[in-house]
Structure 1
């Protein structure tokens, strides 16, 4: 896996790579929302709690497929309120290796599937070789 955080001529970044190159199998993780294992909303009015739950859910899905958060090459983030962006970045940095950040897209949306959801994240990860 090779991270191109800020290639010459590209704009500054804040916690992501402009591009990530990799070989091998890929794992696609569907959009993860702030629900716990019992399907209960976590942190209904607390963006930080929702973001932590979303990353826990992404991690659970990746592990089921044989990958880890360190293997993520691309995130797509959906926020209903851009005031949550600082919290998102701070919490994201707790879960991901910021020396090798994934590529990332951020979309501000009017709403998600449940009106209490403030964040949703989907991911692509490079599945590590079986001998890794």
Structure 2
């Protein structure tokens, strides 16, 4: 059975409640990321595109910490609090994955952990050899 390794990049503040990512074999499971800085301040209040960009940056940091890149992302799940934010999120997703996009699910939810947050993204990554 593959060993389970918790991944916490040095540049991200640790959270005692959950791991930013867990590696099992050649797969990396990135926890749902929201648009907060290392002090817990929300980045981009009321702006889905700004929040999405910050989240992608966080995910990229996690992915790069294991020697992978965003092109190695094989699945993303996105949670939006408002369907009207879908075009803004879709724009950022298209820029992040311009060719061969990963499998993707988008779910509209009633809310996230803090009311100012409008988007959360989690990812699965196939780490290259």
| TM-score of the pair, normalised by structure 1 | 0.76
Unaligned runs of 5+ in 1: 1-23
Unaligned runs of 5+ in 2: 1-24
Higher relative CO (Cα under 8 Å, sequence separation at least 6) belongs to: 1
The alignment partner of 2:30 has SS state of: strand
Instruction: Measure, in 2, the Cα distance between the counterparts of 1:27 and 1:67.
Output: 10
Cα deviation code 1:14-37 (max 9, x no counterpart):
xxxxxxxxxx71111000001123
CA positional deviation for 1:63: 1.3
Considering only aligned residues, what root-mean-square deviation do their CA atoms show, in Å?
Answer: 1.2
Asked if residue 125 in structure 1 is aligned to residue 125 in structure 2, the reply is yes
Number of equivalences? 105
Q: Counterpart of 1:14? A: none
| TM-score of the pair, normalised by structure 2 | 0.77
Instruction: Measure, in 2, the Cα distance between the counterparts of 1:26 and 1:41.
Output: 29
